[in-house]
A and B are shown apart, each in its own frame.
Chain A
Amino acid sequence: MNNYSILLLSTILVPLVIAIIFLGFGRLPKGVTQFLATVGFCFPALGALILWVNFRPLDATGYDYLMTLPTGLEGLGITLKLGLNGISVPLFFLAGIVGLASGIYAMQSGAERIQQYLMLILFMQAGLMGVFASVDIFFFYFFHELALIPTFICIGVWGGRDRHSAAMEMTIYLTLGAMLSLFGLLAIYFQSGAESFDIISLKSAVLNSPIDGGAQTIIFGLLLFGFGILVSLFPFHSWAPRGYAAAPTSVAMLHAGVLKKFGLYGFIQVALPLVPLGANHWSMVLAWLGLGSVLIIGLITIAQRDLKEMVGFSSVMHMGYCFLGIACMSVLGSAGVIITMVAHGLTVALLFLLGHVVYKRTETYDMDNMGGLVKHTPALAALFSAAVFASIGLPGPGLLNFFGEFTVFIALWEFSRPITAIAVLGVIISAIYGLRAIGHIFFGSPSEVFQKHLKENSIKDISTAEKIPVLLLIITLFVIGFFPRMMTDDMNNSLEDNFSSINSELKQLAVEEAPKSPLEVTLSIEPSAK
């Protein structure tokens, strides 16, 4: 344990403590609330940046900043073990930066009962930092719940249109997903025979004696549907567009941008290395469902009139690429997924944020009731277009998005060529809905409804206060996009470590299965002998 480990712990503790202060101290003066909230959002972001810059994994585990805190539950194998590896470090930073942007926006949102609102978002923030910093899969799950529950409450209380039914649907779905993944994670623990939930010891336990193939299939099945529901895998996606449409902006940003990535992260960090045979068994199902997300949801996205629902559906679509990447079961596939996760997290947060900035000017999310906004808000139009072009993977603003998708495509070709060909169609589909959205909102002539609105209100361009979180996200996306190696090098090392054991286990399987067909071997030799 060193000073950096303490910094790692404090990125979780600082927002948590401030949230508890907000909860426990009753109504605080506005200035104090603002100050504390600012600290609570800035600290994790800065901490994450420092930890990323100084990331030097030294030992064979591939982790840095490892620390273990007693929990009193050691008998059950539960320790609070924190640390970062090459896979989690960029996502940890993503959580920090998206948290900061959504926090800044929440502070200026002027929501009623702002202190409670900020409190819940700070709880989310603490949970998100915890998810990616946990080495222990019990706490990995625990922190996810810590972030998830405030999400439901925020939607139910501060949400927009049909917030109650959306919150209800989301709660049922996500709770179901969380339950299934909990079963899966617990099953891994018990089947592995390890004495701790700590993923490092789980990995070494599995390396010595892999989990039985049949059990792996069941476990991965649980995780597939559990994590799948949490990441809005087709056809379990319907909570996402509705939930995001109802959610307050900052919550939508945090959930779609970061919290949703929990499931994907779980696949790559936990499921693939620990139950590779199960993953191998399910990979075709995963790929087809991922393809459904890309193609079917992509086409559905084209038909959306509501800006927020469109962003919600597009986010489901992009998750489809991630499932395809995971299904490949290769370093490249998983690398593509992580790059896409970071890129998509920043982009989707940006789109929800800018969508709300647009909403404040049009007072509607219905894109058919907008039009010609660019004349009033040129800077907003430029920023929004940049975000949309990033989201559709245009390698300028969205260089990182492009690298992510492209790496997935590369990996997918090895997995299945027809699936690749269909998945790449997403490139066209996303261009269609993206440009349609820009066109409907900003160009052409204003719709009748909007003309009336224009007469009654004067519309101002995006303000400096609104620009701060936007630029924060855009600049991060640009910088990582132009210098992708700052995240991919460490990530690649961790993935290669994981996959060297995965591949050896898969090869073992191939060897075990081989002896049962000596006949085929002789048969296949015969024709060439002739």
Chain B
Amino acid sequence: MDVALIYKLFFLLPLVTAGIIACFLRKKHTLAAVFSVVSATVFSGLGLYLIFASERTAWSVSWLSLGGSECRSFDLHFGVLFNDLSALMLLVLIIVGLLVQVFSLGYMKDDPSKARFFAGLSIFMFSMLGIVLADNLVMIFIFWELVGFSSYVLINHYFDKPKAVAASKKAFIVNRVGDFGFLLGIVFVYWQFGTFNLVELEAKAALSPGLLSTGMGLLLFCGVLGKSAQMPLHVWLPDAMEGPTPISALIHAATMVAAGIYFTARVYFLMTDEVLNVVMWIGTITALYAAIVAFGQNDIKKVLAFSTLSQLGYMVAALGLGQYARSTGHGVEAGLATGAAVAMFHLTTHAFFKALLFLNSGSIIHACHHEQDIYKMGGLSGKMKLTFVTFTVGVLAIGGFPFLSGFFSKDSILHLAHMAPQHGGSSVPYYILLGTAGLTGLYMGRLYVVTFFGKARSDNADHAKESGPAMVIPLLILAVLSVIGGYTSIFGHGFDAVFHSIHVAEGSFKTLMIITGSLFSVGGILLAWIIWNPKKDTDALESSVPVLFKALSKQLYFDAVYDWYVIKIQDRVSLILSFLDQLFISGLMVRGTAGLVGVFGIISRSMHTGNLGGYAYWFAIGVLVLGAIAFGTFKF
């Protein structure tokens, strides 16, 4: 089959699906849902064909072309660059995407605006596909914004909840703040290199590294700060949990928020060591911050949201730590840089176990009649056996239990961090990341113990029943992937450029990793059992150190600063400016002039009856007089 045709089909399929649902199936909810799932299946089929059965290719058509002879040309293409890296991201996207669609069949069964939900999902798949395949920076930016748009629409799904409306707005605007830098970065790249195309950029950057600059990399990374919710632009992600849970799983855990990681990996050659140093610290601090704040959350989805932030912090840190692996080089020809490869590895495993955890929480929330407070759950282990088992797998995987998926990927990040001092780096990130791994085991343990053990703390939890097959089957599949996802060989050789660049720990460090992994994951649960005894109805931290708990539950006041900025600074500045505009520009300048003209108006009224036609009349006379002056006596 013609590759260009497949790409076109691939892009059109989700778009047309969304269009058909929006135009024709708005009121036929079940049909819309089924149609969407069928389309997603075909989409996944095409995707699998591309990943496993076709050549890695590039394809493009001209989209916009300006300039040329009188100025530097500005050529924009709609193009696809399909390599091992994008194949891996595409695999994650179609697996999680399809499973979430199927899960939604069950989860959104009684939702009155199911059609809009599925149309939004299709738009999201389309936009995300664009980011994954795009061969140039502008196209990435275009789809990047579109992804933000679909996220806005889907967070806003329950639009009569003021919180959901506010959250969707916040998500979009905070992302735009990041995109401000991203856009400037793209313009910067254009003037340095004269192209947007990734392949050409890589070649030019390799040829003349002097063209790279720290400012450029940092500007590009601003976009990642927004989309992957790194500090200080992380404030939108916890709020985004107002959206339906399948959306949280797909968009706000597995794929969209990971797009920032993927993007950085894709343009890794543009990142100088200075940039990567900043990246490393931002990731490390975000990982730690989110893990700490997670202890103050009682909403099951909020805990998972902070855990996502923390894990994204790990990936970003891995990207930054890659600076130390660069000099050593690696064996694979034309392979991805180690830092990027390791980050992508963690992205992949994280997508599996975090989507699993989120869908599990969806299953629980569904069973508990939309109760999200873990202190109103409890004792679910007996009532929802399959959910319990799959959740256990998820908790162990994220905790880094040996030989589950999370173990391998976290291990490779810690390995990178561990090596840093040998190449002149600091050892602090290593200790922070290792400590955060411990915290991860503990807060996940708290979530696990409080939710599933003890007795039911509310009627809703008491009446919980296992969810239907549409919801459980995706859970089982994701649980299997969370177990085996760390063995890169199961994916075949399609992703060698990524996986061969990963250094895995050996020898004593490996032993250390196995020990800490088991300690953190299983020990975390046991310790959590002791601290947050499931028999109690209140949080141990809340009752013992209420001040600390309050600070944590308020996310250490980052959100408060954001609100303060919006209400006190931004709104006031615009009100004051508006007032000044009214007062000076409209008031004095214009009314003042109008007053003067008013005097002429009185004179003119004495000569003329004075209606609006009169102005036109005077105008015509004025033109004639001016013309006469101009033609006759006008000398310049």
Chain A residues engaging chain B, CB cutoff 8 angstroms: 76, 145, 149, 152-153, 156-157, 167-169, 171-173, 175, 179, 182-183, 186-187, 190-191, 215, 235, 237-239, 242, 296, 299-304, 330-332, 335, 372, 374-375, 378, 382, 389, 394-396, 399, 402-403, 406-407, 409-410, 413-414, 420-421, 424-425, 427-428, 431-432, 435-436, 439, 442-445, 484-485, 488-489, 492, 495-496, 499-500, 503
The verdict on A435 contacting B142 (CB below 8 Å), with A375-B160, A444-B162 known, is no
Once the chains bind, are A421 and B184 in contact (CB under 8 Å)?
Answer: yes
B330 part of interface (Cβ distance < 8 Å): no
User: Which of A239, A331, A410, A427 is in CB contact (< 8 Å) with B590?
Assistant: A239
Please name all residues of chain A whose beta carbon is closer than 8 Å to the beta carbon of B63 when the two chains form the complex. 484-485
Once the chains bind, are A238 and B145 in contact (CB under 8 Å)?
Answer: no
Please name all residues of chain A whose beta carbon is closer than 8 Å to the beta carbon of B13 when the two chains form the complex. none
Please name all residues of chain B whose beta carbon is closer than 8 Å to the beta carbon of A179 when the two chains form the complex. 622, 626
B491 part of interface (Cβ distance < 8 Å): no
User: Which of A235, A403, A427, A445 is in CB contact (< 8 Å) with B176?
Assistant: A427
Once the chains bind, are A485 and B62 in contact (CB under 8 Å)?
Answer: yes
Question: Nearest-CB distance from B128 to chain A (Å)?
Answer: 13
Q: With the chains together, A389 CA to B145 CA distance in Å? A: 11
Once the chains bind, are A484 and B64 in contact (CB under 8 Å)?
Answer: yes
Please name all residues of chain B whose beta carbon is closer than 8 Å to the beta carbon of A330 when the two chains form the complex. 70-71
Once the chains bind, are B612 and A420 in contact (CB under 8 Å)?
Answer: no
Question: Nearest-CB distance from B624 to chain A (Å)?
Answer: 12
Q: Which 10 A-B pairs have the closest CB atoms?
A: A156-B612, A303-B578, A302-B574, A303-B574, A395-B142, A238-B586, A299-B574, A443-B165, A431-B176, A499-B70
In chain B, what residue has the closest Cβ to A148?
B619
B179 part of interface (Cβ distance < 8 Å): yes
Please name all residues of chain A whose beta carbon is closer than 8 Å to the beta carbon of B594 when the two chains form the complex. 168-169, 172
Once the chains bind, are B172 and A435 in contact (CB under 8 Å)?
Answer: yes
Question: Nearest-CB distance from A245 to chain B (Å)?
Answer: 12
Once the chains bind, are A492 and B165 in contact (CB under 8 Å)?
Answer: no
Please name all residues of chain B whose beta carbon is closer than 8 Å to the beta carbon of A167 when the two chains form the complex. 612
Q: With the chains together, A152 CA to B142 CA distance in Å? A: 40
A-B contact count (CB 8 A): 183
Once the chains bind, are B626 and A399 in contact (CB under 8 Å)?
Answer: no
The verdict on A331 contacting B70 (CB below 8 Å), with A242-B586, A431-B173 known, is yes
Q: With the chains together, A154 CA to B571 CA distance in Å? A: 35
Cβ proximity bits B127-170 to A, threshold 8 Å, 1 near / 0 not: 00000000000100110011001001000100110100110010
Please name all residues of chain B whose beta carbon is closer than 8 Å to the beta carbon of A191 when the two chains form the complex. 636
Please name all residues of chain B whose beta carbon is closer than 8 Å to the beta carbon of A242 when the two chains form the complex. 586
Once the chains bind, are B634 and A190 in contact (CB under 8 Å)?
Answer: yes
Q: With the chains together, A469 CA to B65 CA distance in Å? A: 31
B32-61 interface (Cβ within 8 A of A): none
Once the chains bind, are A382 and B22 in contact (CB under 8 Å)?
Answer: yes
User: Which of A238, A332, A431, A435 is in CB contact (< 8 Å) with B581?
Assistant: A238
Taking A399-B142, A403-B64, A443-B156 as given, write out 14 further A-B residue pairs in contact, using a Cβ cutoff of 8 Å, ordered by the A residue number.
Answer: A153-B613, A157-B612, A190-B636, A238-B585, A330-B71, A331-B70, A378-B26, A425-B180, A427-B179, A427-B183, A428-B177, A444-B159, A488-B64, A503-B70
User: Which of B22, B166, B570 is in CB contact (< 8 Å) with A432?
Assistant: B570
Once the chains bind, are B71 and A499 in contact (CB under 8 Å)?
Answer: yes
Chain B interface, DSSP helix/strand/loop, else mixed: helix
Chain B residues engaging chain A, CB cutoff 8 angstroms: 22, 26, 62-72, 74, 138, 141-142, 145-146, 149, 152, 156, 159-160, 162, 165-166, 169, 172-173, 176-177, 179-180, 183-184, 187-188, 190-191, 570-571, 573-575, 577-578, 581, 585-586, 589-590, 593-594, 597, 612-613, 615-616, 619, 622-623, 626, 630-631, 634, 636
Q: With the chains together, A436 CA to B573 CA distance in Å? A: 16
Question: Nearest-CB distance from B479 to chain A (Å)?
Answer: 36
Once the chains bind, are B577 and A436 in contact (CB under 8 Å)?
Answer: no
Please name all residues of chain A whose beta carbon is closer than 8 Å to the beta carbon of B183 when the two chains form the complex. 406, 409, 424, 427
User: Which of A372, A424, A425 is in CB contact (< 8 Å) with B160?
Assistant: A372
User: Which of A183, A303, A436 is in CB contact (< 8 Å) with B575?
Assistant: A303
Please name all residues of chain B whose beta carbon is closer than 8 Å to the beta carbon of A495 when the two chains form the complex. 70
Q: With the chains together, A431 CA to B570 CA distance in Å? A: 13
Once the chains bind, are B172 and A431 in contact (CB under 8 Å)?
Answer: yes
In chain B, what residue has the closest Cβ to A382?
B22
Question: Nearest-CB distance from B572 to chain A (Å)?
Answer: 9
Once the chains bind, are B71 and A186 in contact (CB under 8 Å)?
Answer: no
Once the chains bind, are B623 and A153 in contact (CB under 8 Å)?
Answer: no
The verdict on A396 contacting B577 (CB below 8 Å), with A152-B612, A332-B67, A409-B187 known, is no
Max chain A C-beta neighbours (<10 A), residue from B26, B573, B612: B612
Question: Nearest-CB distance from A396 to chain B (Å)?
Answer: 5
Please name all residues of chain A whose beta carbon is closer than 8 Å to the beta carbon of B72 when the two chains form the complex. 332
User: Which of B26, B68, B184 is in CB contact (< 8 Å) with A420?
Assistant: B184
Q: With the chains together, A181 CA to B622 CA distance in Å? A: 14
Once the chains bind, are A413 and B187 in contact (CB under 8 Å)?
Answer: yes
Question: Nearest-CB distance from A429 to chain B (Å)?
Answer: 9
Once the chains bind, are A335 and B631 in contact (CB under 8 Å)?
Answer: no
Q: With the chains together, A134 CA to B248 CA distance in Å? A: 56
The verdict on A303 contacting B571 (CB below 8 Å), with A179-B622, A410-B187 known, is yes
The verdict on A424 contacting B149 (CB below 8 Å), with A149-B619, A179-B626, A304-B578 known, is no
Once the chains bind, are A335 and B571 in contact (CB under 8 Å)?
Answer: no
Q: With the chains together, A499 CA to B71 CA distance in Å? A: 9
Q: With the chains together, A296 CA to B582 CA distance in Å? A: 13
Once the chains bind, are A173 and B631 in contact (CB under 8 Å)?
Answer: no
Q: With the chains together, A313 CA to B85 CA distance in Å? A: 45
